[in-house]
Amino acid sequence: MKRIYLDYAATTPVDKRVSKEMEPFFGFSAQGGPASGWGNTMSLHSFGQEAKIALENSRQVLADIINADLNEVIFTGSATESNNLALKGVALANNPPAGGKGHIIISSIEHPCIIESAKWLKKQGFEITKLPVDKYGMINPEDVRKSITNKTILVSVIHASNEIGTIQQIAEIGKICKEAKVYFHTDASQSFGKEKIDVKEMNIDLLTASSHKIYGPKGAALLYVRKGIILEPVLHGGGQENGLRGSTVNVPAIVGFAKAGEICQKEMVKENKRLAKLRNKLIKEVLKIKNSHLNGHQKSRLANNANFSFDFVEGESLLMQLDMQGIACSTGSACSSFKLEPSHVLLATGLRPEQAHGSLRVSLGRFTTEAEINKLIKVLPKIVEKIRAISPYGK
Amino acid sequence: MANKTKKINTCSALYTPKVMETFKNPHNYGKIKNPSGIGKVGNIVCGDVMWLYIKVDKNDVIKDVKFETFGCVAAIATSSMITDLVKGKTILEALKIKKDDIIKELGGLPSVKYHCSVLAVDALIEAIYEYFLKEGREFPADLLEKHKKIQKDKEIIEKRYEKWGKQI
């Protein structure tokens, strides 16, 4: 059976152009002969320096994409690590002018790595505010302004939601933070490579981006840190990444990350147009199913994201029925998580837990075809009907 | 197997093939008209609701049993499995079924899903409880205590889930 992958927001396969670019950095070339570039970037000999040059070239490529300077980009091993470094790094190195422990503002729809980092900081004595969202998952920038106190050191708001795809008014929030002289971090794991980002124009002080969401390999991510911001490292070590991230640098993954970013940047406009068209068709057809709803914002939304709720349907069952038909999606149902709690993002938008249990995230990507979307449109109503037939509700 | 010709993808590191097969083709789902008892357990807020209908004959044999479940793969598989296990058994035999019997028949469940098998057993207890209540008969040993415990657990769970999304 030919399988259909519609979970690109979870991760993406590596583009062939990317893996080809990475090959020499593992120590072999595409032609099978010995290659260079696999050395340790901290070594002074030519093996090391070849790797170092590749690392810095990659840094430049990625910095250019977000209009940052070369030295403002720190490589890490994952978006989770970047987000941990942003929150903990800022919190532990920056005291509010008024003295005492700082105050950090996050949104209620952040990725768990932001929420858990904030929780940990709370345990260390920092004050945390969680901003609400409206029913479309939008933060009101005015709420940011109102929440800032003389103790606030950092605001962190996710650029585009990994679950519902809602894109925040990042530039407005950035402006408010700049005026209040508070650092502003955004987790752009889902938007980098899909939406235009200019850290200067948008007044972003710190930004997280990830490789494996954009057809690059897993194990590489970045944190943009605006010049002049002092961070406390999370991984202390041998001085790599300006002393901010000890660890031997994963050069092949970073080279792949840069190539992946470059491709996304080049193809962005055309690809977004193509994906939005497919996605809109999907939304239009799926909403014909009785008692179905679209989660997230109508317009301010990632081109590749659709998120639905089906009343009286439990998401894991839906997901697994689809999987048995070869279609891979995702759900915010509690049963899909090991915490047995429904998606905090959907709850934050005001959905009742039972509606959150019945959610389905469909995320499209580079290799999604119209035929694949048509197949989903065809099988989904029958699967929803089948699950409702077993359910005690909705008859 | 109902779908012999069509290859179905049932690859799961989480669930056993037996769970997946039962989920794909659950037995005995639907309602029973004029049932001897209905057991309604679980909470839609938590994502699992199981309704179990039993039809008992004059010899206390469970002649028919059906379920309606809102829930995950494990909830549907355990629902189906308990109906298979109790059909044709007497009330007293059925009351001996434990969650581990269901888990064993399914070839195992992930530990986070054990509560689904508990839910299935509870639904059966509640259905039998209702049957005895309606009949005005004396409850078999432990039935009343088990019923009270199920009701108490339900209250605890409802309280716990009120807090969702409210804490940082």
Distance from CA of A284 to the nearest CA of B (A): 26
From residue B8, alpha-carbon distances to A327, A361, A371, B21 in Å are 11, 22, 20, 10
Q: For strand A206-210 and strand A183-187, is the pairing parallel, antiparallel, or unpaired?
A: parallel
Distance from CA of A344 to the nearest CA of B (A): 6
Q: Considering only the top CATH level, what class is B17-153?
A: alpha beta
**pLDDT tens for each residue of B42-85:** 988 778 899 999 999 999 999 999 999 999 999 999 999 999 99
Q: Where are the beta strands (DSSP E) in chain A?
A: 4-5, 73-76, 103-107, 127-131, 152-156, 183-187, 206-210, 221-225, 292-294, 305-310, 327-328, 359-363
What is A181-203 written as a DSSP string? Answer: T-EEEEE-TTTBTTB---TTTTT
Exposed / middle / buried, residue B2 (Cβ in 10 Å: 0-12, 13-18, 19+): exposed
Q: Token pair of A85, please?
A: 């470094």
Write out the catalytic residue numbers of A. Answer: 335
What is chain B written as a DSSP string? Answer: ---SSS------SSS-HHHHHHHHS-SSBS--SS-SEEEEEEETTTTEEEEEEEEE-TTSBEEEEEEEEES-HHHHHHHHHHHHHHTT-BHHHHTT--HHHHHHHTT---GGGHHHHHHHHHHHHHHHHHHHHHHTPPPPTTHHHHHHHHHHHHHHHHHHHTTTTT--
Pick A1's closest partner by Cβ from B9, B75, B112.
B9
- Residue of chain B nearest A115, judged by CA positions: B168
Pick A353's closest partner by Cβ from B24, B72, B161.
B161
Inter-chain contacts counted by CB atoms under 8 A, chains A and B = 97
Distance from CA of A21 to the nearest CA of B (A): 33
Q: How much is the average pLDDT of B149-159?
A: 86
Contacts of A62 (CB under 8 A, 6+ apart): A73, A209, A222, A257, A258, A261
* pLDDT at residue A337 greater than cutoff 70: no
Please tell me if residue A324 touches chain B, with a CB cutoff of 8 Å.
yes
Tell if the CB–CB gap between B24 and A335 is shorter than 8 Å.
no
Q: For strand A292-294 and strand A152-156, is the pairing parallel, antiparallel, or unpaired?
A: unpaired
Please tell me if residue A348 touches chain B, with a CB cutoff of 8 Å.
yes
Tell me the β-bridge partners of B90. B61
- Look over chain A and give the mean of its residue pLDDT values, rounded to a whole number: 95
Q: Which amino acid is at A333?
A: S
* C-alpha A149 chain-centroid distance: 28
What pLDDT score does B156 carry? 84
Pick B70's closest partner by Cβ from A336, A344, A393.
A393
- Residue of chain B nearest A315, judged by CA positions: B72
Binned at pLDDT 50, 70 and 90, residue B11 comes out as low
Residues of B with CB under 8 A from a CB of A: 7-10, 12, 20, 23-24, 26, 29-30, 40, 44-49, 51, 67-76, 112-113, 161, 164-165, 168
Q: Which amino acid is at B101?
A: D
Delineate the domains of chain A, giving CATH numbers in brackets. Answer: 4-9+268-390 (3.90.1150.10), 17-263 (3.40.640.10)
Pick A390's closest partner by Cβ from B10, B12, B76.
B76
Q: Token pair of B101, please?
A: 């019997």
Q: Which of B80, B110, B98 is nearest to B146 (CA)?
A: B98
Check if the beta carbon of residue B37 is closer than 8 Å to that of residue B54: yes
- Residue of chain B nearest A383, judged by CA positions: B24
Tell if the CB–CB gap between B68 and A391 is shorter than 8 Å.
yes
Q: What span, in angstroms and rounded, lies between the C-alpha atoms of A138 and A349?
A: 8
Within 124-163 of A, beta carbons closer than 8 Å to B belong to 128, 130
Q: Token pair of A258, please?
A: 């840069």
In chain B, residues with a C-beta closer than 8 Å to the C-beta of A341 are 164
From residue A72, alpha-carbon distances to A78, A97, A99, A200, A205 in Å are 17, 24, 27, 12, 10
Q: Which of A156, A181, A136, A166 is nearest to A79 (CA)?
A: A156
User: Which one has a higher pLDDT value, A145 or A31?
Assistant: A145
Contacts of A301 (CB under 8 A, 6+ apart): A160, A164, A165, A166, A167
What pLDDT score does B160 carry? 73
Q: What span, in angstroms and rounded, lies between the C-alpha atoms of A161 and A238?
A: 35
What is A101-123 written as a DSSP string? Answer: S-EEEEETT--HHHHHHHHHHHH
Write out the catalytic residue numbers of B. Answer: 46, 116
Tell if the CB–CB gap between A393 and B44 is shorter than 8 Å.
yes
Check if the beta carbon of residue B34 is closer than 8 Å to that of residue B131: no
Domain ranges of chain B: 17-153
Q: Token pair of A306, please?
A: 């659709």
Whether the predicted model's global pTM rises above the 0.90 cut: yes
Chosen for mutation from A340, A359, A385 (greatest number of chain B CBs closer than 10 Å) is A340
From residue A312, alpha-carbon distances to A262, A292, A391, B27 in Å are 44, 10, 7, 20
* pLDDT at residue A89 greater than cutoff 90: yes
- Category of A247 on φ-ψ map: left (φ > 0), alpha (ψ -120 to 50) or beta: left
* pLDDT at residue A67 greater than cutoff 70: yes
- ipTM confidence score: 0.88
* pLDDT at residue B5 greater than cutoff 50: no
Binned at pLDDT 50, 70 and 90, residue B13 comes out as confident
Pick B47's closest partner by Cβ from A115, A312, A314.
A314
Burial A212-222 (b: 16+ CB within 10 A, else e): bbbbbbbbbbb
What pLDDT score does B1 carry? 42
Q: How much is the average pLDDT of B74-99?
A: 96
Q: How much is the average pLDDT of A251-263?
A: 98
Tell if the CB–CB gap between A353 and B24 is shorter than 8 Å.
no
Q: What span, in angstroms and rounded, lies between the C-alpha atoms of A59 and A75?
A: 8
Q: What span, in angstroms and rounded, lies between the C-alpha atoms of A308 and A360?
A: 5
Binned at pLDDT 50, 70 and 90, residue B2 comes out as very low
Distance from CA of A348 to the nearest CA of B (A): 7
Q: How much is the average pLDDT of A219-239?
A: 97
Pick B47's closest partner by Cβ from A118, A119, A334.
A334
Q: Token pair of A252, please?
A: 């092949």
What pLDDT score does A99 carry? 86
Q: Which amino acid is at A298?
A: Q
Q: What span, in angstroms and rounded, lies between the C-alpha atoms of A257 and A21?
A: 10
**pLDDT tens for each residue of A115-170:** 999 999 999 999 999 999 999 999 999 999 999 999 999 999 999 999 999 999 99
* pLDDT at residue A240 greater than cutoff 70: yes
Chosen for mutation from A124, A352, A391 (greatest number of chain B CBs closer than 10 Å) is A391
Binned at pLDDT 50, 70 and 90, residue B150 comes out as very high
Q: What span, in angstroms and rounded, lies between the C-alpha atoms of A356 and A46?
A: 55
In chain A, residues with a C-beta closer than 8 Å to the C-beta of B127 are none
Tell if the CB–CB gap between B70 and A348 is shorter than 8 Å.
no
What pLDDT score does B9 carry? 55
In chain A, residues with a C-beta closer than 8 Å to the C-beta of B48 are 314, 335
* pLDDT at residue B109 greater than cutoff 70: yes
Exposed / middle / buried, residue A370 (Cβ in 10 Å: 0-12, 13-18, 19+): exposed
Check if the beta carbon of residue B69 is closer than 8 Å to that of residue A391: yes
Q: Token pair of B159, please?
A: 């309280």
* pLDDT at residue A342 greater than cutoff 90: no
**pLDDT tens for each residue of B65-74:** 999 999 999 9
